[in-house]
Structure 1
Amino acid sequence: MRRLEMVLRSELSELGRLAAAVEDFIAHQGLPPDLAFRFILCFDELITNIVSHGCGGAGRHEIRVRLETDGQELRAEVEDDVDAFDPFTDAPQPDLGSDLESRRVGGLGIFLVGRMMDRASHRREGGRNVTLLARRTG
């Protein structure tokens, strides 16, 4: 099993460091480059929500990111210690029928995360949110 693990500060500026590490990891594993695009986009959405909504600007929080592959599937976990929140059930359902100007804000990014992955789930474990993402490599 090949793995990348990172601990991020609860700051949006950390997204660039994460993106570079994900691109490097995927290239070194010989995996298709579109996986980097998919995972970076999903990480951006999840971590932006954690920092912008979960942290509430209060205190410092750590966000742990794990990315691993067995050659058949690329799996990721995003773990945080903010208030309990399941993005796949607690986020508002996006309005996909209205034009952009009349849509309410919220839910579209998480909807896209679910569409970009083969599996996406959430659990609360030991006072932490853990979001799992997985995509076949071939």
Structure 2
Amino acid sequence: MPHSYTSEYPANVPVEAGIKTFFEAFYQRSDIAGEHEKYADFFTNSATVFVGSRNAVGREEILQLREDMWKTVAIRLHTPLKIFPFGTGADEIMLYGIVDYTFKDKREASLEWAARAKLVKEGDIWKMDFYRVYMDTATAR
């Protein structure tokens, strides 16, 4: 079965289709090595990003963080399982998923992650202005 970036959403909370499309495209782009500029385009120019213990503020730091995240990774595959908007019309979102890694040294790992995102609309385009990813590397399978 082909991999899907489609997530489950709460049945009783309407979510703008553009937000669903945003997250599908974001995690798909996250899994493409070398496309650092396109990845950074998902964020505002002044966005704050935390991934585990690392943080970045602004486009240049986000680009550096992104490059660093790929230094030891050969393949990354996100499966965003559930996305929880904070009510109808919300631009603040909680997310839950799994990420599978194949490292350049051939080791493999699978981690559960959770995240909090704050979205803003620039014209007709959704972007993240804040993104914090929580991972427990001690639970790697």
Could you say whether these structures have the same fold, taking a TM-score greater than 0.5 normalized by the shorter chain as the test? no
Query: Higher strand fraction: Structure 1 or Structure 2?
Result: 2
TM-score (ref. length: structure 2): 0.34
TM-score (ref. length: structure 1): 0.34
Query: Higher helix fraction: Structure 1 or Structure 2?
Result: 1
